[in-house]
C-alpha cells in the first residue's frame, strides 16, 4: 500500500484469538530495522491484530513489515510518499482559491506595476537618490560616534565636586536673606573700631605698651613702700616709752632740790621726746593713694579680651587661642609678639 509521507497508518495481521503478536519493520533503502519486535494489539476477540506505523521522512521510502505470533508470520510492503505527495490535495486548492479570490477583477498590467514601483523607489530614495547601502554607511558612521559617548560629555574636571558645592552651600545657607552691602559692613566696622578705640583713638599697640608700663610697675612693688630708714625702730620706741612712763603727769610740781629746774636754763626749757606716735611715721604724701591704684585697676579690668581680639584683627595681625593662652603674632604671621593668659589676665614673659 502507498500512503502520504506525513500519514500515520495501521498495519493489520490475522492470527489466533488471544495470540501474542509482535511486528518488525525494515526500511528497504538501507535494510535498517526502524521497528523491532513491537507488540501488536488484538482488535476485540477477532484474531485480527493491529500496529500503528508512522515515520518522519522528507522523500519517498519503502518498508517491509513482518508480523509474527512466534510460530507463524505474515508480511507485506508499505510505501510512504511519492506521487501521492506530488498531487495537489483539496485543502491546498482551497488555499490557492482563497488567495485568487482577493485579486481585483481588472488587475494592473505588468507595466503599470513597474511604473508604480519605480515611482515608489524614487520617492523612497529622495532627492539625493540614496540607496540602502548609502544609508547603511551613514548609519555606520553614526554608530561609530555613538560607540564613543565620552566625546559628547562635557569636560567637568574644572568644576567643583558635589562635596565642595555642598560645603559652600552649607555656608551660604547661613547668610541672611538681605545681607548688608560692603559699604554698610565697612561703616559698621569703622564705627565699632572707633567705639573700641575711644576718645584717645588708642590701638592695641598703645594699650599693650601701657600694660607693659603697669606690669613693670607691678613687678616692682617696693617702689610703693614708704621709706622707713628715718623711722625709729620698735625697740627704740619702747625704750623711749619706758623713760617717758617715768615722767609724772605734772613734772613741774616735783622738786628735786634744785630750783634751777624751773628756770629758763632748767629742764622745762628742754625738748623732751614727743609722745605723739604720728611724729615718728614716714611722710607718704607723695605716694599713690589706694583710690588712684584702684582707678588704674578698674581701667585695665574694663578691657575685654573680645575687644583685644577685634582690634588685633582690624590692625592686620594674626591671633590664635590655645586653651587660655592668647598669642599675637608680628606682621609676618609667625613670629610671636605677645602672649596672654586669659584665665589670669596676665601677660606671659617670652
- Return the higher-pLDDT residue of 235 and 299: 235
Cα(20)–Cα(15) distance, rounded to whole angstroms?
Answer: 9
Under a CB-based contact definition with an 8 Å cutoff, are residues 41 and 51 in contact? Answer: yes
Least confident of 128-132, 145-149, 288-292, 323-327: 288-292
Under a CB-based contact definition with an 8 Å cutoff, are residues 327 and 219 in contact? Answer: no
Query: At which residue does the C-alpha cell 485579486 appear?
Result: 103
What structural domains does the chain harbor? 2-86 (2.60.40.10), 185-223+291-341 (no CATH), 233-280 (no CATH)
What's the chain's length in residues? 350
H-state helical runs in 198-251: 204-218, 234-244
What is the reported pLDDT for 39? Answer: 97
What is the reported pLDDT for 261? Answer: 45
When mean pLDDT is compared over 15-29, 71-85, 133-147, the highest value belongs to: 15-29
Under a CB-based contact definition with an 8 Å cutoff, are residues 39 and 22 in contact? Answer: yes
Q: What share of the chain is helix, strand, coil (3-state, %, to 5)?
A: 40, 20, 40
Q: Rounded to 5 degrees, what are φ and ψ at 35?
A: -140, 130
Amino acid at each position: 500500500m502507498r500512503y502520504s509521507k506525513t500519514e500515520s497508518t495501521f498495519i493489520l495481521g490475522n492470527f489466533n484469538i488471544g495470540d501474542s503478536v509482535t511486528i518488525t519493520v525494515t526500511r528497504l533503502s538501507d535494510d535498517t530495522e526502524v521497528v523491532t519486535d513491537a507488540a501488536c494489539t488484538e482488535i476485540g476477540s477477532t484474531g485480527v491484530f493491529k500496529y500503528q506505523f508512522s515515520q518522519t521522512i522528507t522523500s519517498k521510502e519503502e518498508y517491509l513489515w513482518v508480523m509474527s505470533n512466534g510460530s507463524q508470520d505474515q508480511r507485506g510492503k508499505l510505501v510512504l510518499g511519492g506521487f501521492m505527495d506530488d498531487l495537489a490535495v483539496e485543502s491546498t486548492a482551497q488555499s490557492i482559491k482563497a488567495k485568487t479570490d482577493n485579486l481585483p477583477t481588472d488587475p494592473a498590467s505588468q507595466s503599470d506595476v513597474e511604473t508604480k514601483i519605480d515611482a515608489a523607489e524614487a520617492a523612497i530614495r529622495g532627492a539625493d537618490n540614496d540607496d540602502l547601502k548609502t544609508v547603511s554607511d551613514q548609519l555606520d558612521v553614526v554608530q561609530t560616534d555613538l560607540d564613543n559617548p565620552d566625546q559628547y560629555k562635557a569636560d567637568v574636571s574644572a568644576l567643583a565636586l558635589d562635596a565642595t558645592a555642598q560645603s559652600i552651600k552649607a555656608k551660604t545657607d547661613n547668610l541672611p536673606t538681605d545681607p548688608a552691602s560692603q559699604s554698610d559692613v565697612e561703616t559698621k566696622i569703622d564705627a565699632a573700631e572707633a567705639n573700641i578705640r575711644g576718645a584717645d583713638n588708642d590701638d592695641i599697640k598703645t594699650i599693650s605698651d601701657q600694660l607693659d608700663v603697669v606690669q613693670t610697675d607691678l613687678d616692682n612693688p617696693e617702689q610703693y613702700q614708704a621709706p622707713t630708714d628715718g623711722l625709729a625702730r620698735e625697740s627704740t620706741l619702747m625704750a623711749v616709752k619706758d623713760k617717758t612712763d617715768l615722767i609724772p603727769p605734772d613734772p613741774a610740781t616735783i622738786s628735786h632740790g634744785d630750783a634751777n629746774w624751773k628756770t629758763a636754763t632748767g629742764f622745762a626749757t628742754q625738748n623732751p621726746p614727743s609722745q605723739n606716735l604720728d611724729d615718728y611715721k614716714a611722710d607718704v604724701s607723695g605716694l599713690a593713694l589706694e583710690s588712684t591704684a584702684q582707678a588704674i585697676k578698674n581701667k585695665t579690668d574694663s578691657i575685654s579680651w573680645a575687644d583685644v581680639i577685634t582690634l588685633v584683627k582690624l590692625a592686620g595681625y594674626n591671633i590664635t587661642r590655645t586653651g587660655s593662652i592668647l598669642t599675637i603674632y608680628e606682621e609676618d604671621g609667625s613670629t610671636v609678639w605677645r602672649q596672654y593668659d586669659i584665665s589670669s589676665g596676665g601677660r606671659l614673659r617670652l
